Amino acid sequence: MDLVFPSPASLGLFVGAALALLLVPGPAVLYLVGRSIEHGRRAGLLSVLGIQAATLVHVAAAVLGLSALLASSALAFNFVKMAGAAYLIWLGLQKLAGRAALVAVAEKSLAAPKHARLVRDGFIVNLLNPKTAIFFLAFLPQFVDAGRGHVASQIAVLGVLLAALGLLTDSAYALAAGSVGAWLKHSAVYASVERYVSGVLMIGLGLTAAFAGNQRK
């Protein structure tokens, strides 16, 4: 079956709405900003790759109808939500348990996580966010033209487009935060407190994910 695209008018509206939403920092953006400040622009960009890879998984789930199942099952919703929150809190506790960062460049390079780990962590953080799945279920169908046929195909096109737009906006956040982080690394005060700031940020994101939005329609 041929790939069916939404109408040009629907695509235009979708791009505008998607950009407006993507430019508002959410948990994934705050996560990659923290990584960028802590380890630099490359770490932030690698985190972006993981986050958007998970976005594609959510797109596939939406196309296959798994998002509808997740939305209708309180048990599944709460399990995925708590798993994602626990992972964020674990990352924060791991950071707090480490020793304070040093200003020396050599020390910074030794402390930097491996590339695969950065991609993996970003992937898990976004994958275990059930609100992303619910968002796709509620948002993407609004721009589908049922008259053009093959609704699943149109949802897939919109989802991939959203991931591409997210790659651009998240990368901009990562580059900006990485530049600020490079400047902050020269501050002795920042070096002594950065692990606490990063750790508290991760734990705060986890607690927000765990306790926010418990009531669902």
Q: Is the pLDDT of residue 32 over 80?
A: yes
pLDDT the model gives residue 112: 61
The pLDDT assigned to 55 comes to 93
pLDDT over 70 (residue 111): no
Q: For position 104, what pLDDT does the model report?
A: 38
pLDDT over 70, % of the chain: 77
pLDDT over 90 percentage in the chain: 20
Across residues 37-65, what is the average pLDDT?
90
Q: Exposure of 207 by Cβ count < 10 A (0-12 exposed, 13-18 middle, 19+ buried)?
A: middle
The answer to whether the beta carbons of residues 43 and 31 sit under 8 Å apart is: no
CA distances from 137 to 11, 75, 92 (A): 17, 18, 30
- State the average pLDDT for the chain: 78
Q: Which of 125-129, 145-149, 178-182 has the lowest mean pLDDT?
A: 145-149
Structure tokens at 157: 């096109």
- Residue 50: closest CA among 110, 111, 126, 155: 126
- 202 in Cβ contact with 91 (< 8 Å): yes
- Rounded to two decimals, what is the model's pTM? 0.72
Question: How crowded is the C-beta side of 45, counted as CA atoms within 13 Å?
Answer: 9
pLDDT over 80 at 107, yes or no = no
Q: What is the pLDDT of residue 98?
A: 66
Q: What is the pLDDT of residue 194?
A: 64
Q: Which residue, 28, 26, 23, 30, is CA-closest to 177? A: 30
pLDDT tens for each residue of 75-98: 776 776 787 778 878 888 887 776
138 phi-psi bin (left φ>0, alpha ψ -120 to 50, beta other): alpha
Average pLDDT over residues 42-48: 94
